[in-house]
Chains A and B, each alone.
Chain A
Amino acid sequence: MIKLFWYFLKGYVTIEIKGATKERFFNMASYKNIFFWDIKHIKNSIQAKISIQDFRKLKEISKKTNCKYKILYKEGLPFLIFRYRKRKILFLGIPFFLFTLYFLTSFVWAIDIVGYNDISYHVLINALDENGLSFGTFKHTINKLEIEEQMLNTFENMSFININLYGTRATVTISENIKQVDIIDRDTPTNLVSSHAAIIHSLNVRYGDAIVTPGDVVFSGDLLVSALVIPDDTNPDFFNYVHATAEIYGYVYYNLDFLVSNKDIEKEFTGRIRSIYTINIINRYVNLPNAMQNFQNYDTIISRTILNFGENYPLPFVLIVKTQKEYIEHIIQRDRQTMEQLAYRKINETILNFFDFDVDIVRKNINLEEISEGLSVSVSLTTLQNIAIEQNVVFYENIDDEVIN
């Protein structure tokens, strides 16, 4: 294969040999160290490939063997150069193209960051930019070790960073510290107050003095467990402030009202498609002209194609194609069954998005009422959940301040 590539560079010809002693022609040629390849028998003649240097030695053999030969095809680089010798711009353009390609591949055109979790992508990109690695940085001026050190100094929760440059792509691999578990401060006195208006179901108090009992009605912000603990009621001067800790479960009521419309819009695609081409050259957008009229209603599909040489050599040219598909709107009437299905789906989605996993839904009343606009849905939910939230105890300097406040 390498030998054949070498012959392509040096140039070769396909010849046709005719005569009674064609085999003798080949024997004599091979005796003189002439190399033939792709020798094919076609009708009464033989076609073979031979290099330009060896071709010049065939004259003598032809005379001795009384075989005639002629050139069928000339192939290889010397013949290509000869054919295009008058196209001077082409010869100037090839080195210019190669130089431009080399020049463009000397910059970083893509930055990939791997391994980030708590630190956001944009913060990392900005920090890399400040430290000397950004989109369009000259590759040979990047000091990887220095950037890595500066990044580690910038982010305290970053334990490892590695910058790899493959082609025009910079891959930044980072590793963040394992998050420390928050230490509960047991020394700060805190009360527990209610987060919702609720009816108390049960209490599990570990620290503090419970103010409420099961069955009590509380409102949002009401004190549930006090930080002030007086062990002996007969001796009120002996007291202590603690960090109140408790799980207080209560029934909380929620209402959800919404309307499911009885009208739906159905799209009928006309088949007419309009494509808008935009070229992004080094962060500048160039819109190519489009002669087609704007559609009234359309869906847009955007596709981005990055021009690259292999995976590691992306170039700063991006072709953005916005394909607009025209459609006509038809208003259709929904039946009761479809509206109910939509209502139940919305209720389930709301419950999943709104409530945490530790919240139990103990009762769910759904009231559906058909009105002229559609289906009016009213949902009342009763949940059993922990309603206790911490609130720091405020100490006043003297009794007068407390009265004023």
Chain B
Amino acid sequence: MKEKNKEKNLKKNIAAMFELPKDIMLNLPYVSIIGNEEILLQNHKGLIEYSKNVVRIKTTIGIFTANGEDLYISKMTNEYINILGKIKNCGY
């Protein structure tokens, strides 16, 4: 566990030092939100729950949850998920 944390910190420092994108270096999800209409989540690990009001997606740092109304997934590949609808809140 300690070794894993050490490796993570090292990667973090290298990314900060050379100004490299953290989502690639640390394998983090990359979330783009456009207003309250669209969420683009890259680097996901799979869909956990999907209904009209809730979308839960597994990522490397936890479960990303988006709540709202009339949510629907406009596109889904193994790289990204694009959610449209009236988004009320989202977080991990």
Contacts and interface: CB of A to CB of B under 8 A. Distances in A.
A283 interface: no
B63 to A, nearest CB: 12
A30 B50 contact: no
Of A22, A27, A31, chain B has the most CB atoms within 10 Å of the CB of A27
A46 B50 contact: yes
Interface string B40-83: 00000011111110000000000000000001111111100000
Contacts of B71: 41
B47 A40 contact: no
A23 B50 CA distance: 7
Contacts of A39: 50, 72-74, 76
Contacts of A27: 46-47
A210 B88 CA distance: 101
Nearest to A33: B78
A38 B84 CA distance: 10
Nearest to A42: B52
A207 interface: no
B49 A31 contact: no
A27 B59 CA distance: 13
Nearest to A37: B75
Contact of A30 (B49, B72, B76): B76
A7 B30 CA distance: 27
Interface string A5-35: 0000000000000000011001100110101
A253 interface: no
A241 interface: no
A36 interface: yes
Contact of A23 (B48, B72, B74, B75): B48
Given A30-B78, A31-B78, A33-B78, A23 B73 contact: no
Contacts of A22: 50
B54 to A, nearest CB: 10
A33 B50 CA distance: 20
Contacts of B49: 23
Interface residues of A, number: 15
9 contacts: A23-B49, A31-B78, A35-B77, A36-B73, A39-B50, A39-B76, A41-B52, A41-B72, A46-B50
A256 to B, nearest CB: 76
4 A-B pairs with least C-beta separation: A39-B73, A27-B46, A30-B78, A23-B47
A393 to B, nearest CB: 91
B77 A30 contact: yes
A41 B50 contact: yes
A46 B75 CA distance: 14
Contacts of B73: 36, 39-40
Interface centre among A26, A39, A46 (most CB of B within 10 A): A39
A207 B68 CA distance: 98
A38 B77 contact: no
A22 to B, nearest CB: 7
A40 B72 contact: yes
A46 B55 CA distance: 13
A395 to B, nearest CB: 95
Contacts of A30: 46, 76-78
Given A23-B49, A23-B50, A36 B76 contact: yes
Contacts of B78: 30-31, 33
A37 B50 CA distance: 14
A36 B72 contact: no
Contacts of B52: 41
A46 B51 CA distance: 9
B72 A38 contact: yes
A27 B44 CA distance: 10
B76 A33 contact: no
A38 B46 CA distance: 17
B77 A41 contact: no
A36 B75 contact: yes
Interface string A217-249: 000000000000000000000000000000000
A26 B47 contact: yes
Nearest to A46: B50
Contacts of A36: 73, 75-76
Contacts of A33: 77-78
Contacts of A40: 72-73
A22 B50 CA distance: 9
A41 B72 CA distance: 7
A381 to B, nearest CB: 76
Q: Considering residues A22, A23, A31, A38, which has the most beta carbons from chain B within 10 angstroms of its beta carbon?
A: A23
A31 B78 CA distance: 5
B25 to A, nearest CB: 24
